[in-house]
Chains A and B, each alone.
Chain A
Amino acid sequence: MTEIADIPPPRTETPAPPDREAARLGFRLTLPAQLLVLFIAVFPICMQIYISLTDWSPLDGIPWWRAHELWIGLTNYSDLASDFRFWGALWRTLFVMLVCVPVQFFLGLGLAILFVDEFPGRRIFYSVLLVPMMVVPAVAGYMFFMLFQSGGPVNDILSAFAGRTVSIAWLSDPDLALAAVIIADIWQWTPLMFLILLAGLVSVPKDQQLAAVLLGAGWWRRFRTIILPRMKTIIIIALAIRVIENFKIFDTLYIMTGGGPGIATETISVYIYKVTQQELIWGYVAAIALAILISLSIVSAFAIARLRRGS
């Protein structure tokens, strides 16, 4: 009987340690560029921190760098803590995200699974599916604004099914307005989820799936043991993109409802827009922006950590 040979692992050359002097010279040469990049990244944040500690407004008639004359310390932050409009907007933003992102994910994944195999008309359906993603969000907002009018097509269709005249005031009912906004967002952004997940699905090696079939694995087992683990990274990326993007929801929503009726669809971005453009209390805006920046950074850091552990 032949003995199975033990093969030593292939040797790899250890790269020579880089020259210390060269490294130092390189650092010095790139220092101006590094400082510039650092300045661009850090300056706006520093400026924000500074202004958020004052009661400065452009109406005060003093330039921003003299805002310290209106120093109020952490008052803006304590105001923020008890600002029900802020907390309401934050909650609404999270609510929209918690509905939209999972729905977009499962719809996108389902579509991706359908589209990974060839079927008649696949290319046409594929192109049609990607159209919403390419529509300018403001235009999408206008489209859904028209669709959801009390005399609009949505009510007409419902009337046809109900057999009587339905006149739901979609955009002026506090609860339904948010639902309409959510539907618009799902319409527009499911295609992106679909596109990313399809790319992930296609990249799962075909022969591994075939090997699993030959070993007797059914579809669900293959999906669970081969496809999902291989798509993990891309799923996290897709979710992260949509969570971050969805948090910034503004244009579609602003055109459809303007944050109304009242403040019923006011999300963080809409709230910041109103405080900035209508109330002009910029010190307070800076405080809001910083609070959001910090919380988003924590979320992103968490996502990146997950990604690192995954790969």
Chain B
Amino acid sequence: MTEIVLDTLGKDFGSFTALRDMDLTIRDGEFMALLGPSGCGKSTTMNMIAGMLEPTRGQIRFDGKRIDGVPMAKRGVGFVFQNYAIFTHMSVRENLAYGPKAQGMSRAEVTRRVSDIAELLQLTPMLDRRAAGLSVNILQRIAIGRSAAVEPAIFLLDEPLSNVDAAFRAVMRSELKGLQRRFSQTMVYVTHDQLEAMTMADRIAVMDHGRLLQVGTPLEVYNNPSDTFVARFIGSPGMNLIPARVDGDTAHMDGIGALTLTAAPGTAQVLAGFRPEVVHPDDDGPLAMGVEIVEHIGARTIVHLRAGETEVKAVLDAEHTAPREGQAFRFRVDAADIRLFDPATGAAMKRHG
């Protein structure tokens, strides 16, 4: 039950800045995902929260108390490792009891905690099995239970699903989300997989090159990306970004056509962004491009469109007949679905109206 505040947190490794000026408040009981490509600083951030790394600049506060300098064993941080780091030479019971015993709790207290946790995580029937050879979702439960037994202030999860095969991930995701609800614990989840972040997190912090780019609920981040990186990174495929010239309430895109905007930002060069899912096939539509590749993925069809150097991806539902490769494709995009970005900085432009 802890609120975590990262206050202008920064970390340098020699001359390399791994993290710069990160301000983030993780609310009590929140499931926060740190999302970004590898090398974006998300693991550095988590290791600093855990105490494995000392920050170069800034502070970390748990419930208002500064924790820099507090050794990691004393921070009350539950850490779930990428491969779970289960003590495979011990039984499930010994794994769960490890923390309480190490902290010198009485035998009765250890027993009580182990049985409570085991009951909550449905591990009771396998308490006396050796941890080696148990299936990966059981290992995930043991890893969480082992940390939970010492009642940590916060859980940190380091890409726990990255070693799990794809077919099993959906199961693990829903199970993890269920566990988080049960514990109603503050959890910080590090991942490079936007699908994991979107499906599990209450809020997502998107990072790139040591910088925090945007914090918001999955839908906010999806609908209103703060810059072009977030726009491209979130969603599969990511948002289309096309150079356009805005004149009044119209955005002209070379060789494609003109979009009508909800408001007139004046005259400027912009990047016009729209999600592949909001491309509507329309024979009378104002936009036209050539069809390059058509990918059929079950119910969805991804159409790769091209006009000159400009590429656009469109996702069509099964109800639309997919265009054929080489054909011309006319479509429209509703004004409400268009986001504008500054081509120089990549930042989202304020929406007018």
- Chain A residues whose C-beta falls within 8 Å of the C-beta of B168 in the assembled complex: 7
**Chain A 203-218: CB-based contact to B (< 8 A → 1; otherwise 0):** 0010110111111111
Q: Mind listing 14 A-B residue pairs with CB under 8 Å?
A: A1-B178, A2-B174, A2-B175, A2-B177, A2-B181, A3-B178, A4-B121, A4-B175, A4-B178, A211-B79, A214-B72, A215-B146, A215-B147, A215-B150
Stretch at the interface among A110-118, A193-201, A222-230: A222-230
Q: How long is the Cα–Cα vector from A9 to B175 in the complex, in angstroms?
A: 17
Partner of A216, one of B85, B150, B182: B150
Across the interface, do B85 and A205 meet the contact criterion of CB distance under 8 Å?
yes
| Docked complex Cα distance between A216 and B149 (Å) | 12
Shortest CB–CB separation between residue B62 and chain A, in angstroms?
Answer: 15
Once bound together, how far apart are the Cα atoms of A205 and B177, in whole Å? 28
Please give, as numbers and ranges, the residues of chain B lying within 8 Å of A208 by CB-CB distance: 85-87
List the A side residues contacting B150 at CB < 8 Å: 215-216
CB-defined contacts of B181 to chain A, threshold 8 Å: 1-2
Give B residues with C-beta under 8 Å from A: 50, 52, 72-74, 77-79, 81-83, 85-87, 89-90, 98-99, 102-103, 121-122, 135, 137, 141, 146-147, 150, 168, 171, 174-175, 177-179, 181-182
Contact for A214 among B78, B90, B179, CB less than 8 A: B78
- Report how far A214 CA is from B78 CA in the complex, Å: 7
CB distance from B88 to the nearest CB of A (A): 8
Chain B's closest residue to A5 (CB) is B171
In chain B, what residue has the closest Cβ to A218? B102
Contact of B175 among A5, A214, A225, A230 (CB under 8 A): A5
A17 within 8 Å of B (CB atoms)? no
**Docked CA distance A7–B126 (Å):** 14
Contact B175 A217 (CB under 8 A): no
- How many whole Å from A209's CB to the nearest CB in chain B? 9
Q: Is the CB of B89 within 8 A of A2?
A: no
A66: Cβ under 8 A from any B Cβ: no
**CB closest residue in chain B, given A230:** B89
For A206, give the chain B residue with the smallest CB separation. B85
Q: Compute how far the CA of A253 lies from the CA of B52 in the bound complex, rounded to whole angstroms.
A: 51
Considering the chains assembled together, what is the distance between the CA atoms of A225 and B87 in angstroms?
9
Q: How far is the CB of B230 from chain A (nearest CB, A)?
A: 29
- The answer on a CB contact under 8 Å between A10 and B135 is yes
A1 near B182: Cβ-Cβ < 8 Å: yes
Residues of B within 8 A of A229 (CB): 89
A199 to chain B, nearest CB (A): 18
- Is the pair B50, A214 in contact by a Cβ cutoff of 8 Å? yes
Given contacts A4-B178, A218-B102, contact A207 B146 (CB under 8 A): no
Given A4-B122, A7-B137, do A216 and B175 touch, yes or no (CB 8 Å)?
no
* Cβ-based interface call for A122 (8 A): no
Whole-angstrom distance between the alpha carbons of A63 and B89 in the complex? 59
Q: What 1/0 mask marks residues of chain A from 230 to 245 whose CB sits below 8 Å from any chain B CB?
A: 1000000000000000
The residue on A at minimum CB distance from B177 is A2
Contact B102 A2 (CB under 8 A): no
Would you list the 10 A-B pairs with minimal beta carbon distance, nearest first? Answer: A2-B178, A215-B99, A217-B102, A207-B85, A211-B85, A216-B102, A216-B103, A207-B81, A208-B85, A229-B89
Chain B residues, CB < 8 A from A205: 85
Give the docked Cα–Cα distance between A18 and B52 (Å): 53
The CB with the most chain B CB atoms within 10 A, among A7, A214, A217, A225, is that of: A214
Residues on B with beta carbons closer than 8 Å to the beta carbon of A5? 137, 171, 174-175
Which chain B residues lie closer than 8 Å to A3 at the CB level? 178
Given contacts A1-B182, A211-B81, A230-B89, could you give 7 more A-B pairs where the C-beta distance is less than 8 Å?
A207-B85, A208-B87, A215-B150, A216-B99, A216-B150, A217-B102, A226-B87
Q: Is the CB of A85 closer than 8 A to any CB of chain B? A: no
